[in-house]
Structure 1
Amino acid sequence: MAKKIRNFAAILAISAVVGTMLLILVFLLPVGPMRRNVEKSVGDMLKTGDEIPEDAFSKYLWKNRETYTDAIMVQNAIERLPDKNAYEHAMWMYHYDLEEDVWTPEDSLKAFCESHENVNNMYLHIYARYWHGYLLYLKPLLLLFSWKHVVWLELAVQIALMIWVLITAIRKQNAGVAAVTLGSFLFMKPVLVLISLTMSVCWILTLLAVEYMLLHHDGLHEKGQYPEFFLIVGILTSYFDFLTYPITTLGIPLCCYFLLENDRAWNNIKKLIGFCASWGIGYAGMWAAKWVIADLTLHTGTIKDAIWSIIGRTEAIGGRPRMNGGFYVIGLNLHEYPVYMGIAAGILAAVAVGLMVMIIVMGRWKNVYAQLLPVVVTAAIPFAWIIAVQHHSALHARFTFRILSVAAAAAITFIVLIVKQAKSSQKS
Structure 2
Amino acid sequence: MKKKRVTKLIVNHIILLTAGALSGLIALLLVHLLPVSPMQSHVYWSLEMIEKEFSDEVLIDGYRSTLTGNFTDCLMLEHAVYSSKEHTLLEQVLHMYRRESYNPPEGGDEDGWQPGNSLKDYLIGAPQSREVSYSRYWHGYLVLLKPLLLLTSFNTIRLFQSAVQLILAGWVVMALCQRKAYPLAKAFLLSLPFLFFVSTYASLSLSICFYVLTAAILVQLKMDRLLSRRGWYGLFFLMVGMATVYFDFLTYPLVTLVYPLGIYLYFHVSTFKKDIIGIIKNSVEWSIGYVGMWAAKWILADCLTGSTCIQDAVETIFIRTGSAQGYSKIGGFFSVLAKNFQPFLNWCYILIAILFAVLFFAGMSKTFFRKIKSNLPGAASYFLLASYPFVWFFLTQNHSEQHWQFTCRILAASVFAVISGCCVLLRNIPSREAPVSF
TM norm. shorter chain > 0.5: yes
Which string of whole-angstrom CA distances, capped at 9 and with x for unpartnered residues, describes residues 325-360 of structure 1?
011101101112350244146437856996999899
- The more displaced of 285-294 and 369-378 is 369-378
For residues 82 and 385 of structure 1, the distance between their equivalents in structure 2, rounded to whole angstroms, comes to 41
- 1:239 and 2:246 are equivalent in the alignment: yes
Change (3 A) 1:419 1:33: same
For residues 283 and 236 of structure 2, the distance between their equivalents in structure 1, rounded to whole angstroms, comes to 11
For residues 329 and 46 of structure 2, the distance between their equivalents in structure 1, rounded to whole angstroms, comes to 44
Contact (CA 8 Å) 1:269, 1:373: kept in 2 or not?
no
Change (3 A) 1:348 1:133: farther
- 1:6 and 2:16 are equivalent in the alignment: no
For residues 258 and 281 of structure 2, the distance between their equivalents in structure 1, rounded to whole angstroms, comes to 13
Contact (CA 8 Å) 1:38, 1:147: kept in 2 or not?
yes
Contact (CA 8 Å) 2:31, 2:147: kept in 1 or not?
yes
Partner of 2:169: 162
Question: Any unmatched runs of 5+ in structure 2?
Answer: 1-5, 104-110
Change (3 A) 1:121 1:41: same
Change (3 A) 1:121 1:290: same
- Aligned with 1:336: secondary structure? helix
For residues 408 and 28 of structure 2, the distance between their equivalents in structure 1, rounded to whole angstroms, comes to 30
Contact (CA 8 Å) 1:348, 1:412: kept in 2 or not?
no
- Shift of residue 102 of structure 1? 5.4
More helix by share: 1
Change (3 A) 1:17 1:63: closer
1:229 to 236, 241, 246: 236
- Shift of residue 285 of structure 1? 0.3
- Aligned with 1:318: secondary structure? coil
> Which residue identity lines up with residue 262 of structure 1 in the other structure?
V
- Aligned with 2:427: secondary structure? helix
Partner of 2:417: 410
Matches for 1:34-113 after TM superposition, within 5 Å: 34-47=39-52, 64-99=67-102, 103-113=113-123
- Aligned with 1:317: secondary structure? coil
Which string of whole-angstrom CA distances, capped at 9 and with x for unpartnered residues, describes residues 193-227 of structure 1?
12211111101111111111211111111211110
Partner of 1:382: 389
For residues 330 and 59 of structure 1, the distance between their equivalents in structure 2, rounded to whole angstroms, comes to 20
Q: What RMSD, in angstroms, separates the aligned Cα atoms of the two structures?
A: 2.9
> Which residue identity lines up with residue 121 of structure 1 in the other structure?
Q
Partner of 2:208: 201
- Aligned with 1:335: secondary structure? helix
Partner of 1:214: 221
Partner of 2:287: 280
Change (3 A) 1:244 1:234: same
Contact (CA 8 Å) 2:182, 2:435: kept in 1 or not?
no
Which string of whole-angstrom CA distances, capped at 9 and with x for unpartnered residues, describes residues 238-258 of structure 1?
000011000000011111222
Change (3 A) 1:61 1:318: closer
- The more displaced of 276-285 and 195-204 is 195-204
Partner of 2:3: none
- The more displaced of 216-225 and 344-353 is 344-353
For residues 348 and 301 of structure 1, the distance between their equivalents in structure 2, rounded to whole angstroms, comes to 53
Which string of whole-angstrom CA distances, capped at 9 and with x for unpartnered residues, describes residues 26-57 of structure 1?
1111111100000001211330689x99xx96
- Aligned with 2:343: secondary structure? coil
User: TM-score, normalising length from structure 2?
Assistant: 0.88
Partner of 2:28: 23
> Which residue identity lines up with residue 307 of structure 1 in the other structure?
V
Matches for 1:317-328 after TM superposition, within 5 Å: 317-328=324-335
- 1:152 and 2:169 are equivalent in the alignment: no
Change (3 A) 1:48 1:358: closer
- Aligned with 1:96: secondary structure? strand
Partner of 1:190: 197
For residues 426 and 133 of structure 2, the distance between their equivalents in structure 1, rounded to whole angstroms, comes to 52
Contact (CA 8 Å) 2:367, 2:426: kept in 1 or not?
no
Partner of 2:402: 395
Change (3 A) 1:178 1:230: same
